[in-house]
Each structure stands twice: as structure tokens, then as C-alpha cells.
Structure 1
Amino acid sequence: MSDALVTHQDIALRLAIPLEKAHEPRVNTLIQDSEELIQDAFAEVGRDYRLEVANLLQRRAIIRVIREMVATAVIVGPYSGARSVNSSSGPNSDGLTWDKVPEVSFAGVKLTDAHRRALGLVVGNDFAPSWNFPPATRWPLRGGDN
């Protein structure tokens, strides 16, 4: 058994499109990049990646996140930032509208807030109260007691 959590075969089996042999080195690099991002995210909050991987439930979460990160980068990656693509047949007209896609980057994989939550990492205001106290009542001022 290999010590790799995820292999390019794992990714290829789950993709809706066939993974060409020529793309295997890129997929392996994306897997490695994903693991590094996750290691860094754990290190930022003082958690040890090796201990996280040793925990069966956390190991499974890490594997799922890596698969998702890599699959997204493989399928969406070449079109990262494309919101719409238009094409016409007649006198050749093409159009492409770009927009920000938070799940991927042009460089490859991205650890999103949803991934961080799946790994048990706190995101932004996860523990902030979702309610407000009413404003404090003001004491009436009495004349001459200031």
C-alpha cells in the first residue's frame, strides 16, 4: 500500500470526463499542492498534520477535501474565471466574459472556506454570535444630580 492519501487513479475514477495519460503528472502535482495547503492550514492553528492523518475520521475528511480540490482544478481549472462563453457560426464571432471563481485559481488548487470547515478549521466568524443584544436603556437624568 502506498503512503499517498490520494493518487491520480483515485481522481480519474471519480471524474465525469476521462483523464488523459498526459495529464497524470499535473494531477500528481495538484494532489501534492493540495496536501501542502492543508498542512499549512493545520500549522497556522497549531495542529499537527501527521496526527490529523492518524485519526481515521479526520483522514477520510482530508482525502475527500483533496479529491474535491484536485477534481475542481482539473475540470474547472482551464476555465477559471470564465463566466460565459459565446460563439457564432456565420462570420465567426466569439465572446468570453470573465468573473471571479472562488473554488479554483489559475495556478491550480484552492482551499476554500467549505473545505476548511470540512477539516474542522474555524473560518472567519464561525463562532461569532448570530444575534444582537438590544441597545442599553439610558437612565433618565435628574435635574441637579449630574
Structure 2
Amino acid sequence: MEISVPEIESRLPRPLSADERPRMKALLDDAVEYLEVEFQKCGCSLDAALARTPWLESVVRRVIREMVSAAVLVGPNVGMRSASSTTGPQSDSITFADVDSVGWGGVRLTPAQRLDLGLCMPGGARGKFPRPAYWPERIC
């Protein structure tokens, strides 16, 4: 499965600048590697899953496009929630927030994308559950 820079660029709302093209290629490689590792963490191989599941290739392509597009379009503004500037004795303000869709270093896989890919959710069951009862149960 090969995804090219022009395939993603044609879907972006603006053309890429000259310095964004090499970054997008690097992010594409990062996204594919990221997905391969996540499939391995869930006990399977991305290539094997693609071979046995007919719908998975289109979902993987879409998820990779989303991961790379978000990282390229957000760029240096990762985590920025709002920015304001005043000209009159100069005042600047920037508010940052932790965002799930883009990482500081590049691509990130969101929980919604994990579900679309059919991947296990990390961490196992959440909550506190009682221990299983012994069989047969004794009634006294």
C-alpha cells in the first residue's frame, strides 16, 4: 500500500509550500510506521490484516491521510487554542491546550481512528470489577 504526497495534497484546502513537501513525506513514513507498531501491540501484523480484511485498506488510507493532514495543516500551531495581539503599546497573548489529534513531534492516532481500524484499546478494562465467583457456588 503506497500513499503519495500528491494524493494528500490534492485534498488539502491550500497548496503546500516548498518546505512542507519533504515534511509531508517524512510524516507519511511516520504514520505508516505508527500504524504497523499499533497493530503489533494488538498482536497482529498490518500486512496480514490488510490481506485478510477487504475493507481495511481504504480505512488505513483514510486514517493516514487524516493523521498527516492534521500534522501539516496545524504545523507550528500545535496545541494553540487562541491567540490575540494588540498593536497599541504591544500586547500578545497565546493560550495552549492539549490536543488529541496532533502531536508535538508529528502524527498521532486518535481513539476514534483506533476504533475505525478495529484496533484494541490500550490499558485494558477500565473500572473496578468484583472477582469472579467460584464454581460451583456454595449457598450456606
Question: What TM bracket, shorter-length normalisation?
Answer: 0.7 to 0.9
* CA apart distance, 1:125: 8.3
Where structure 1 has 5 or more consecutive residues not aligned to the other structure, the ranges are 129-146
TM-score (norm 2): 0.81
Aligned position for 2:23: 26
Asked if the contact 1:77–1:106 (Cα under 8 Å) also holds between the matched residues in 2, the reply is no
TM-score (norm 1): 0.78
Please report the RMSD computed on the Cα atoms of aligned residues, expressed in angstroms: 2.1
Alignment of 1:19-98 (within 5 A): 19-54=16-51, 55-98=53-96
* CA apart distance, 1:53: 2.7
Pairing partner for 1:17 from 4, 14, 22? 14
Asked if the contact 2:20–2:72 (Cα under 8 Å) also holds between the matched residues in 1, the reply is no
Distance 1:23 1:70 in 2: 11
Q: Is residue 5 of structure 2 the alignment partner of residue 8 of structure 1?
A: yes
**Larger deviation, residues 69-78 vs 83-92:** 83-92
In percent, how many aligned pairs have the same letter? 36
Asked if the contact 2:68–2:107 (Cα under 8 Å) also holds between the matched residues in 1, the reply is yes
Aligned pair count reads: 127
* CA apart distance, 1:111: 1.0
The code of the aligned residue for 1:46 comes to: G
Distance 1:73 1:79 in 2: 10
Distance 1:76 1:95 in 2: 18
Distance 1:105 1:113 in 2: 14
**Larger deviation, residues 74-83 vs 102-111:** 74-83
Distance 1:124 1:40 in 2: 13
The code of the aligned residue for 2:69 comes to: A
- SS of the equivalent of 1:87 reads strand
The code of the aligned residue for 2:119 comes to: L
> Highest CA radius of gyration, 1 or 2?
1
* CA apart distance, 1:83: 1.1
Distance 1:53 1:9 in 2: 23
